[in-house]
Structure 1
């Protein structure tokens, strides 16, 4: 049986815990929930999970992180794993970065911080249905 994974990426552990809790309360045991505190760590997790029996289906990532920003991360991921659905969370991204995340990185959803659980879950449900 294949396992589907949700990956949350943010350099603030409190935000990662909040995301994980919101996703788990909405989707239960149907998915595996992974977290990463940087884009580099997230790439390692993605490479580890991308096998025939396990796959990352959704990435929810912050934009402002040390090292690699969210738009750069999505562009890099999209080149290797174009099927992964992507949601960008941001409180500070400039319009050019958001455009890059959407147009080149193929982020399907951009949500402002602080997000609401309802909007996040609805966005994910929409992506899973598409």
Structure 2
């Protein structure tokens, strides 16, 4: 089964940075998908699921047009509680972070600009959770 990591941010430069850091640290072990909005993120999720690809982690920006990251992650969690969720933002309100923690089982919040080591460690710990749950 293919395994994917999905990143959502309305800034293309952020997605390019995430793409580079993920590929550098995790190689071709995973399929990487990128969306510029929550709607596009939902479309990609539906596509991946339809093709039998397991989504392991979603890294989502908080401040996006239309749907905020916490709301997006909560909607994803309702349908796919096993996906590990990470919120990434330079300006997320404490209330939004708490909302994602309580209603989307948020794995971690990372402030922008992030350190590559923090991102990689967050992804590794998220993958460990995902693999652990597969064998429970």
| Structure 2 length-normalised TM | 0.92
Runs of 4+ in 1 over 6 A off after TM superposition: none
CA RMSD of aligned residues (A): 1.0
* CA distance in structure 2 between the aligned counterparts of 1:19 and 1:44, rounded to whole angstroms: 20
What is the deviation of 1:128? 0.9
Residues 1-130 of structure 1: pairs in structure 2 closer than 5 A? 2-51=1-50, 53-130=52-129
Give the secondary structure class of the aligned counterpart of 2:104. coil
Q: Structure 2: any 5+ residue segments left out of the alignment?
A: 130-136
Q: Structure 1: any 5+ residue segments left out of the alignment?
A: none
What is the deviation of 1:51? 4.5
Structure 1 pair 83–52 and aligned structure 2 pair: CA distance change class (3 A)? farther
* CA distance in structure 1 between the aligned counterparts of 2:61 and 2:91, rounded to whole angstroms: 10
**Which has the larger displacement, 17-26 or 49-58?**
49-58
What is the deviation of 1:52? 7.3
The alignment of Structure 1 onto Structure 2 pairs a total of residues equal to 129
What is the deviation of 1:53? 3.4
